[in-house]
């Protein structure tokens, strides 16, 4: 069976499914999947160098904001 975000098993009821992939230099970009919806990826062109963060409402699962914090340039 297929599970949300390509996880190996389903999450328990009342839990959100998510998967975070860190990427590899500039070869493979990072991505964030939440409840089977890709929130951030190089395809969506909304990732950056450093820490990529997606802010999600913990009750509803609604995406509130995405951003990247460049830890290299300061």
What is the DSSP-derived secondary structure letter of residue 6?
A: G
Split at pLDDT 50, 70, 90, the class of 28 is confident
Structural domain count, the chain: 1
In a domain, 25, yes or no: yes
**Residue 74 placed within a domain:** no
Each residue of 31-73: pLDDT tens digit?
999 999 999 998 999 998 888 999 999 999 999 999 999 888 7
CA distance 7 to 34: 11
In a domain, 40, yes or no: yes
Assigned domain for 45 exists = yes
> Domain range spanning residue 42?
4-69
Q: Which of 6-10, 22-26, 27-31, 53-57 is least confident?
A: 22-26
Q: Has residue 59 been placed in a domain?
A: yes
Is pLDDT larger for residue 26 or for residue 10?
Answer: 10
Whole-model pTM? 0.84
Please give the torsion angle defined by the CA atoms of residues 3, 67, 22 and 17, in that order, rounded to the nearest 10 degrees. Answer: -20
């Amino acid at each position: 069976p297929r599970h949300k975000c390509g996880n190996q098993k389903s999450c328990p009821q009342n839990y959100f499914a998510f998967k975070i992939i860190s990427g590899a230099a500039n070869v493979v970009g990072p991505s964030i999947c939440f409840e089977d919806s890709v929130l951030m990826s190089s395809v969506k062109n909304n990732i950056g160098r450093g820490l990529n963060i997606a802010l999600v409402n913990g009750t509803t699962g609604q995406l509130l904001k995405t951003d990247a914090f460049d830890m290299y340039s300061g």
